[in-house]
Chains A and B, each alone.
Chain A
C-alpha cells in the first residue's frame, strides 16, 4: 500500500538524533569550524559513545519492520539518521568515528581475529588520487605480493578522516595492465611503516572534518589484509562484472551521502524561518500565488525542492532495503539532493541578507558546508551521466 510517511520506529530514532544534534553538535559547531584543527574535537569522543557503535545502531534499525514483502530496514534508517545528524553539523558528522567511510567495507569481510587485531574500528577510505577522482578505475596505486605481504606504493588525496582514523582502506591495483578488475582494497592500520599522512587540506567548508593526503612508500601489510576476493577475474566479461560489484556498493552509499544534503538544507531553512519569524514572515502552504511576496515565493520553491530531494533519497534507500536494483534512483537522489542542498543554503544566505552572510549566524557556514555534498561520492555531473546512461540505455563507451 502506497505510504510515504516514516514508520514510527524510524521516526522515534530521528527525534532522538535531533536532540543529539541540537544539544551535542550545534553548541560546538562554530568552534571547530573556526579552529579547523587536525586533532579530533575532544567533545566528539563522548558524543560518539552516546551515539553507540555504528554496528549497534544498524542492528537496532534493521528491524524497523517488514510487512508482507515490504521492508524498512538499514538503508532507510541510515539515510534518516544521517540527515538528522547533518542537521546538527556535517563536518562533525564526518568526524564521528562511528561513520568512518571504510567501516562498512571492513566489517563486511574481516574475520574475528582481524577485528581483534585491528582494534577500535574507525576506518577511512582512500580512493581518489591526484590523477583520478570520479574515474576511480584509473587509479595508479599498486599492490605487489612479496612473500606473505602486500607492498603498496602510491599517493592518495582527499581522504576524509585520513588523519584521525585508526585504519585506512586503500584502493590499489594488483596489475595496472588489467584495468578495473585488478583493483582491490587493503586495510592498513595507522602506524604501519611506509604509510605517511603528508598533508591536511584547508577547505571551503566541513572544516571540522579532516581531509588528508596519504603517501604509500613500500608500505607492507599482511596478505590477509586484502579485503574480499584476491583473485583477478580471467575473462574480460568477468573482469567487467567484478568491478561492477565494487561500484554497486556505491548504489547504497550515494543515497546516504545525498541524505547529508537533506540535513544541511533543512537546517538552513529552519534557521531562515527563525530569523524571518521575527519579521512576521510565516509560510502557511495554502497561499494564493498572487498574494505572495517575492521572499515567500522563493521559500516555497526551496521547500518544494527540499521535499522532492527527500523523497528521492527515501525511495532509493527503500529500494535498497527491498533488494531492488537502484543504481538509477541512487544517482537521481544524489544529483537532486546535492544540487538542492547547495542552492537552498545559498538562497537562505541571500534571503537573510546581512544576517545570512555574517558569522554571527550559521547560515554562511551551511552554505560553505553544502558545496562538498554536490561533489564527493560522485559529482552532480557524474550522477547525471549515470542517470542518463540508464534512461537512454547507453553504455559508458557510447555516452562518455
Chain B
C-alpha cells in the first residue's frame, strides 16, 4: 500500500463543517444582536455564558475516559470556532472560549492529575469560568521575561509574586493558569484554584472589549504546590504561537463582521442619485477589505494546520498575527470611514468593532488555537 500524502486542501472535515453551521447560527442569533447593548452595559448578556455550554466545545479535546468527546487537540477546529464566534462578537467570543483555552493548554502540557482537574471542573452542564493569566501591565510586554516571579522552595513548592492584567472573569474564575518566571526554567505555567490565598482582583476598563469581564490580578506571597506546575515539556514558544494564531482568528471573524455590515450599507446608501458603492473610491475599499480578510484567513488556517500536524508553526503564527494587527486596524478604521458620520455614532456597530480590533495588538495568550 502506498503511503498517503497530504494534499493542499481547504475543505473542513464533515465534523468541522457541522460544528461551523451550529456555531455560526449561534453567533448570528445569540451574539450579534446582543453585542451593542452588552457594549453599552459593559457586561455580558444575562445567561449568555450558560447558552454557550450547549455548543459543547469544551468537551471536544477532553478524552472520553475523562468525560469528554475525545476528538483530540485540533488547532484547526479551534480557529474555525474562534473565527465564527468573533463574527458574532469579539468580547463574547473571548469569554466563551477562555475556559477552553485553559483546557487546551492543560491537555498539551498538564499532568494526568491536572487533566483530570480541568475535565471535572470545566466540562460540565454549567458554564465554569476559567482563564489564562499571562499578560502584565507593562509597555513592551515579553512573555519570556515576566515580572511575575515563581520562587522554588526546598520542598518543591513555589511562591508566586507579581501582577497580571487582562485576566478574564477575575474573582469568578474557578481555575486560573498563571504564568510566571521561575528563573532557571524561564516562563512556566501554574494551574491554581480561583480561591487560592494571596490573589486579589480589580476590574479593568478598556476602550474596547467592554462586555468582557477583565481584571488586574495581584499575587502576593501566593503559595502553590509543586503539582501546580505544568509538565516538563511545557513550551512557551509554542504556547505563544498558538496564542498568536488565536488572536489572528479573532481578527478574521471580527473583520468579516465589518465587511458583512458595510456591504449592504454602501449598496443602500444613496448619494448624488445612486448607491455610493457605484463609485470606485468606495467599491475599491470594500474590495481590498475582502481581499485582505481572505488572505488573513488563509494565513490563520495554514498556521493552525501546521500546529495540528506537529510542524513548526512559529513563522506562520508570527506573520498571521502581524497581518491581523495591521489589517485588523485598517479594516476597523475603513469600516467607520465607509459609513461616514454615521459610522462615528453608536447607532452602528462599526465604531465598536474599531475599538475592539485595537485590542488585537495587546492580547497575548488570552486564547489558544
Q: What separation, in Å, do the CA atoms of A286 and B144 have in the docked complex?
A: 11
Determine the chain A residues whose CB is within 8 A of the CB of B50 once the complex forms. none
Q: A385 touches which one: B8, B283, B298, B311 (CB < 8 A)?
A: B283
B72 → A minimal CB distance (Å): 13
A392 touches B305 (CB 8 A): no
Q: Which residues of chain A from 355 to 400 have any CB-CB distance to chain B below 8 Å in the complex?
A: 381, 384-385, 387-389, 391-394, 398-400
- A4 at interface, CB cutoff 8 A: yes
A311 touches B295 (CB 8 A): yes
B7 touches A67 (CB 8 A): yes
B278 touches A1 (CB 8 A): no
A392 touches B295 (CB 8 A): no
Question: Quick one: which of B142, B277, B292 has the most chain A CB within 10 A?
Answer: B277
Q: What separation, in Å, do the CA atoms of A285 and B284 have in the docked complex?
A: 32
B76 → A minimal CB distance (Å): 5
A8 touches B5 (CB 8 A): yes
Q: Known interface pairs A301-B326, A394-B277. Does A387 touch B291 (Cβ–Cβ under 8 Å)?
A: yes
Q: Known interface pairs A1-B11, A305-B323, A393-B267. Does A387 touch B290 (Cβ–Cβ under 8 Å)?
A: yes
Determine the chain B residues whose CB is within 8 A of the CB of A314 once the complex forms. 8, 298
Determine the chain B residues whose CB is within 8 A of the CB of A400 once the complex forms. 278, 280
B7 touches A315 (CB 8 A): no
Determine the chain A residues whose CB is within 8 A of the CB of B294 once the complex forms. 312, 315, 329, 332
A318 touches B140 (CB 8 A): no
Determine the chain B residues whose CB is within 8 A of the CB of A389 once the complex forms. 283
Determine the chain A residues whose CB is within 8 A of the CB of B287 once the complex forms. 335, 384-385, 387-388, 391
Determine the chain B residues whose CB is within 8 A of the CB of A72 once the complex forms. 7-8
Q: Known interface pairs A285-B315, A332-B291, A391-B287. Does A4 touch B240 (Cβ–Cβ under 8 Å)?
A: no
Q: What separation, in Å, do the CA atoms of A307 and B306 have in the docked complex?
A: 14
Q: B280 touches which one: A65, A69, A315, A399 (CB < 8 A)?
A: A399
Q: How large is the interface on B (under 10, 10 to 19, 20 to 34, 35 or more residues)?
A: 35 or more
B140 touches A290 (CB 8 A): yes
- B135 at interface, CB cutoff 8 A: no
A318 → B minimal CB distance (Å): 6
In the complex, the chain B residue whose C-beta lies closest to that of A393 is B267
A4 touches B298 (CB 8 A): yes
Determine the chain A residues whose CB is within 8 A of the CB of B346 once the complex forms. none
B280 touches A385 (CB 8 A): yes
Contact pattern, B 27-62, Cβ under 8 Å of A = 1, otherwise 0:
000000000000000000000000000000000000
B263 touches A4 (CB 8 A): no
B333 → A minimal CB distance (Å): 18
Q: A70 touches which one: B11, B299, B301 (CB < 8 A)?
A: B11
B258 → A minimal CB distance (Å): 13
Q: What separation, in Å, do the CA atoms of A11 and B292 have in the docked complex?
A: 26
Q: Which residues of chain A from 238 to 276 have any CB-CB distance to chain B below 8 Å in the complex?
A: none
Q: What separation, in Å, do the CA atoms of A271 and B191 have in the docked complex?
A: 46
- B269 at interface, CB cutoff 8 A: no
Determine the chain B residues whose CB is within 8 A of the CB of A391 once the complex forms. 259, 263, 286-287, 290
B240 touches A286 (CB 8 A): yes
- A114 at interface, CB cutoff 8 A: no
B298 touches A392 (CB 8 A): no
Q: What separation, in Å, do the CA atoms of A315 and B300 have in the docked complex?
A: 14
Q: What separation, in Å, do the CA atoms of A139 and B62 have in the docked complex?
A: 64
Q: B267 touches which one: A64, A315, A392 (CB < 8 A)?
A: A392
A23 → B minimal CB distance (Å): 27
- A300 at interface, CB cutoff 8 A: yes
Q: A398 touches which one: B259, B266, B278, B296 (CB < 8 A)?
A: B278
Determine the chain B residues whose CB is within 8 A of the CB of A307 once the complex forms. 299, 302, 316, 319
B286 touches A392 (CB 8 A): yes
Determine the chain B residues whose CB is within 8 A of the CB of A301 once the complex forms. 322, 326
B291 touches A335 (CB 8 A): yes
In the complex, the chain B residue whose C-beta lies closest to that of A309 is B295
- A182 at interface, CB cutoff 8 A: no
B290 touches A65 (CB 8 A): no
Q: What separation, in Å, do the CA atoms of A329 and B287 have in the docked complex?
A: 11
Q: Known interface pairs A70-B7, A315-B10. Does A286 touch B237 (Cβ–Cβ under 8 Å)?
A: yes
In the complex, the chain B residue whose C-beta lies closest to that of A286 is B314
- B64 at interface, CB cutoff 8 A: no
B331 → A minimal CB distance (Å): 13
- B70 at interface, CB cutoff 8 A: no
Q: Which residues of chain A from 308 to 328 have any CB-CB distance to chain B below 8 Å in the complex?
A: 308-309, 311-312, 314-315, 318
Q: What separation, in Å, do the CA atoms of A389 and B277 have in the docked complex?
A: 9
B266 touches A392 (CB 8 A): yes
B4 touches A2 (CB 8 A): no
A304 touches B319 (CB 8 A): yes
B291 touches A303 (CB 8 A): no
A67 → B minimal CB distance (Å): 5
- B318 at interface, CB cutoff 8 A: yes
- A56 at interface, CB cutoff 8 A: no
B360 → A minimal CB distance (Å): 12
In the complex, the chain A residue whose C-beta lies closest to that of B13 is A1
Contact pattern, A 6-36, Cβ under 8 Å of B = 1, otherwise 0:
1111000000000000000000000000000
B186 → A minimal CB distance (Å): 14
B326 touches A308 (CB 8 A): no
In the complex, the chain B residue whose C-beta lies closest to that of A7 is B7
A5 touches B306 (CB 8 A): yes
Determine the chain A residues whose CB is within 8 A of the CB of B319 once the complex forms. 285, 300, 303-304, 307
- B193 at interface, CB cutoff 8 A: no
Q: Known interface pairs A290-B142, A329-B294, A392-B263. Does A3 touch B7 (Cβ–Cβ under 8 Å)?
A: yes
B130 → A minimal CB distance (Å): 27
Q: Known interface pairs A65-B5, A335-B291. Does A388 touch B286 (Cβ–Cβ under 8 Å)?
A: yes
Q: Which residues of chain B from 132 to 167 have any CB-CB distance to chain A below 8 Å in the complex?
A: 139-142
Q: What separation, in Å, do the CA atoms of A242 and B306 have in the docked complex?
A: 43
Q: Known interface pairs A1-B13, A286-B318. Does A311 touch B298 (Cβ–Cβ under 8 Å)?
A: yes
Q: List 26 A-B contacts (CB under 8 A).
A: A1-B9, A2-B13, A2-B76, A2-B304, A3-B6, A5-B6, A6-B8, A7-B5, A65-B5, A70-B9, A286-B240, A290-B142, A304-B299, A308-B295, A308-B298, A309-B295, A311-B302, A314-B8, A315-B294, A315-B298, A332-B295, A384-B287, A385-B284, A392-B277, A393-B267, A399-B277
Q: Closest 4 CB pairs between A and B? A: A290-B140, A308-B295, A311-B298, A4-B302
Beyond the given A1-B6, A5-B311, A307-B299, please list 14 additional residue pairs across the A-B interface where CB-CB is below 8 A.
Answer: A3-B7, A5-B6, A7-B8, A70-B9, A72-B7, A287-B318, A290-B142, A301-B326, A303-B315, A305-B323, A381-B280, A384-B288, A385-B280, A388-B287
Q: Which residues from chain B sit less than 8 Å from chain A, CB to CB? A: 4-13, 16, 76, 139-142, 237, 240-241, 259, 263, 266-267, 275, 277-278, 280, 283-284, 286-288, 290-292, 294-296, 298-299, 301-302, 304-306, 309, 311, 314-316, 318-320, 322-323, 326, 361
Q: Which residues from chain A sit less than 8 Å from chain B, CB to CB? A: 1-9, 64-67, 69-72, 76, 285-291, 300-301, 303-305, 307-309, 311-312, 314-315, 318, 329, 332, 335-336, 381, 384-385, 387-389, 391-394, 398-400
